[in-house]
Amino acid sequence: MHDSFLSDLSNPERPVPGGGAAAAHAGAVALALLEKIIREEMGRHQSIPERSLWEELLDQISSLSKSLYRLRDEDGMSYMRLAETKTSGKKEAVILAALKEAIDCPMKIMEETHKALGHVAQTAQHCKKHLLSDLLVVCEVLGGANRGAGHIAQANLRLMSDPIAKADYQNRLAGLYACGCEALKGAEASILGYPGCLPGFIIKLMRFQPHIVSRGCYVIDRKFLLDFAAGRSGGCQRKGWCMDLVV
């Protein structure tokens, strides 16, 4: 059953929540899974230093989660304020201020996902290997939340007519995209640094076809994997069946 947020999100008669709120919600979902991993490790560790590590991480994740839920609500409010100022004939300065709010909110969501990815990397260095697949899910969802919030910020930025302010925001947004990519790469590298987190035949594939792996990240066509698993390795020469991921 949908919770109230998802019901509102799926309702076409409600202008909010929208894309920015959805990105923040996705980030909060990823943090819920990360919190589960951390709590499992807390229950396993009894020594004071190890438990302190997980308790500190849990506090940080809890704070980030609250921030994302707050930003989820703020995104809708900023959108409604912007819509109201545009339709009520307010002065240009008032409209610009509302537009900046509508851009700032998704950018803040991006910043919080970057912090969360840093905590994923830290968790990967200490948690049990059987939890690494769940950490990869956390990475994927946080990466999507980061990019999604960036799309909303970029869409709102197109409405800005002030060329100086627009250029400043564009530079800041580009910097956030770059930071997000680095944070995601770092988190994935921390996880993929454990060979045990990959299926056995992927490990073999990496040994025999290292050209498909780029800095710990990989994209492999499903048909190629099926052929490889079936022993039809000659198919690896066919163009388009495997490719490098540029990161």
pLDDT score of 169 more than 60: yes
Start-end of H helices in the chain: 4-9, 19-44, 48-87, 92-124, 132-157, 163-192, 200-208, 222-229
pLDDT score of 205 more than 80: no
Q: What is the predicted pLDDT for the residue at 45?
A: 61
The predicted-structure confidence for 26-73, as pLDDT tens digits, reads as follows 999 999 999 999 999 888 766 777 788 899 999 999 999 999 999 999
The predicted-structure confidence for 104-122, as pLDDT tens digits, reads as follows 999 999 999 999 999 999 9
pLDDT score of 196 more than 90: no
**Rounded CA gap, 156 and 231, in Å?**
51
Q: What is the predicted pLDDT for the residue at 90?
A: 77
pLDDT score of 163 more than 80: yes
Q: What is the predicted pLDDT for the residue at 208?
A: 46
Q: 5 falls in which pLDDT band (50, 70, 90)?
A: very high
Give SS3 for 180: helix
Beta bridge partners of 214: 217
**Contact (CB, 8 A) for 54 and 41:** yes
Percent of the chain with pLDDT over 70: 77
pLDDT score of 218 more than 50: no
Q: Which of 115, 190, 109 is nearest to 151 (CA)?
A: 109
Averaged pLDDT score across all residues of the chain: 81
